[in-house]
Structure 1
Amino acid sequence: MNLNLLPARTGIVWVKLGIRTFLKQPLALTGLFFMFMAVMTIASQVPYIGFVLAMTLLPAATLGLMAATVEATQGKFPMPLVLLVAFRGDKAKTRAMLVLGGLYAFGFLLAMGASYLVDGGDFARVYLGGATPTREMMMAPEFQGAMWVFIGLHLPLSLTFWHAPALIYWHDFTPLKSLFFSAVACLRNFWAFAVFGVMWLSVLVMAVVLVTTLSALVGNPELAGDVLFPVLLLMAAMFFTSLYFTFRDTFELPAETAEKTTS
């Protein structure tokens, strides 16, 4: 397995490939993304352990969306069972994926706990859906400080786990080895990932501007609120579709390895 060093412009290519692949199978990939969201939501509702359970399942569910992207690139129609690909292999990989999920949940809780120390938990309650934010709350220095503490801790956590599920599944890495190589890959290709993030942010802003402008032109400002949410969900589905390409170009996924996604 070789780690490729990529130019910054590769981030633009990843965004284009994500959108293009999504448009090849929009119904399947949209449906799978909604199922992904539903699984996360249902898991989070389990009493006492819901949030931890959802975070533990997140790496495996993300791998399922990447596997769906592989099938879409092969001209196939991804079926719902592809979301369970992390648990359909051998038991060793299943255990490794669950360990990875547990590590991610632990890291996420640490980041959220650090934000709790800053503002007493206001940001955490808003983020986790347990409280409705008010303008006064969001403008408070403590709330904003907690938000930036969480972002500052969660960003490196996300990059460390970025490639890890795929490395476990497609390259037979252990959880700790996958985390190490994921972090190294993201650091070595920092500018490609930076451009990738900026491009998706730009696409998001353009989508918001387009929707609000069209609603203003038709003289119905409330239309923006009705249309914007589903548009943002579609954008999120496209973003998750693009994740596979960040892995494929970084680690050279072998053709024979990709085939077992559909086996």
Structure 2
Amino acid sequence: MKLNIVPARTGTQWVREGVRTFFKQPLAMAGLFFMFMASLSVAAFMPLVGGLLALVLVPALTAGLMAAAREAEAGRFPMPMTLFIAFRQGPQATRAMLMLGALYAVAVLLVMGASALIDGGRFAQLYVGGGGITPELVMDPQFRFAMWMSTLLYLPVSLAFWHAPALVHWHGVAPVKSLFFSLVAVLKNTRAYLLYGLMWMLMSFAGGMVLLVLTALSGSAAVASAGLLPVALLIASMFFTSLWFTFRDSFSDSAPPGDAAAPPASA
């Protein structure tokens, strides 16, 4: 496995390729993202351990979405079972992915635990258990501080787990080592990832502006209410499709285990 250093402009390339690949197979990619969300939701509803189980599954299902993006990039239709490909590579690979999932769950719970020390667990309950956000809750300074503190603490967790599922799945890297390699890859290519993040923020902002314009033209707030969820799901689906390209260009290997072909490197 070799770490690639890419120019800053590659960040915009990842976004473009994610959007283009999504629209190569829009029904498949949108359907798989819906399955991703639905699988986590079903797991979360399980008694006692549901929330923990959902967190454990996140890395494996993320690898499945990346595998689906790879299939779509190659012009193939990703089948539904592609989402669960991380659990279909043998017992050893399954154990490694579940170990990575356990590490992710521990990291998120630590972040939520830190936020609970600030607001008594209200933000953590909302994050893990769901529920509605009331105006009173948003205006509470302790809740806002807990939210921003959680966001800050989650950032290094996100960077460490960014490439970890793909490294475990395609390169057979040990779970703990995959976190280190993922973090190094993002930090070594900071400019590209900053531009990548900025592009997705702008796309989200543009989607919101389109809804506002349509609402103003129609004179009905129902347009924004009806369009908010579909637009958010569309952008999220394209974002998850683009994750494959961030990994493809950040690492290269002549023969990664767990797949028929090596992910190409293009810097």
Find the residue that maps to 2:2 and give its secondary structure.
Answer: coil
Q: Contact conserved, 2:172 with 2:258, CA < 8 A, in 1?
A: no
**Identity of matched residues, %:** 53
Looking at structure 2, the residues matched to 254 and 212 of structure 1 have their Cα atoms a distance apart, in angstroms, of 48
Give unmatched runs, 5+ long, in structure 1: none
Paired AA for residue 216 in structure 1: A
Find the residue that maps to 1:128 and give its secondary structure.
Answer: helix
Task: Determine if the alignment matches structure 1 residue 115 to structure 2 residue 115.
Answer: yes
Looking at structure 1, the residues matched to 104 and 152 of structure 2 have their Cα atoms a distance apart, in angstroms, of 16
Paired AA for residue 88 in structure 1: R
Q: Contact conserved, 2:160 with 2:182, CA < 8 A, in 1?
A: yes
Give unmatched runs, 5+ long, in structure 2: 262-267
Matched residue, 2:68 = 68
Q: Contact conserved, 2:60 with 2:165, CA < 8 A, in 1?
A: yes
Q: Contact conserved, 1:170 with 1:253, CA < 8 A, in 2?
A: no
Matched residue, 1:162 = 162
Structure 1 position 129, deviation (Å): 4.2
Greater displacement, 119-128 / 226-235 = 119-128
Q: Contact conserved, 2:63 with 2:166, CA < 8 A, in 1?
A: yes
Give the TM-score of the pair, scaled to structure 1.
0.95
Matched residue, 1:8 = 8
Q: Tell me the alpha carbon deviations over residues 129-180 of structure 1, each in whole angstroms, 9 at most, x when there is no partner.
A: 4443222221222111101111111111011011011111111111111111
Structure 1 position 49, deviation (Å): 0.4
Task: Determine if the alignment matches structure 1 residue 44 to structure 2 residue 37.
Answer: no
Q: Contact conserved, 1:70 with 1:258, CA < 8 A, in 2?
A: no
Structure 1 position 228, deviation (Å): 1.5
Looking at structure 2, the residues matched to 39 and 258 of structure 1 have their Cα atoms a distance apart, in angstroms, of 23
Q: How many residues are paired up?
A: 261
Structure 1 position 220, deviation (Å): 2.1
Paired AA for residue 80 in structure 1: P
Matched residue, 2:195 = 195
Relative to structure 1, is the Cα distance of residues 95 and 255 closer, same or farther in structure 2, using a 3 angstrom cutoff?
closer
Matched residue, 2:225 = 225
Paired AA for residue 234 in structure 2: L
Structure 1 position 258, deviation (Å): 8.2
> Structure 1 segments of 4 or more deviating over 3 A?
253-259
Structure 1 position 98, deviation (Å): 0.3
Looking at structure 2, the residues matched to 31 and 96 of structure 1 have their Cα atoms a distance apart, in angstroms, of 27
Matched residue, 1:58 = 58
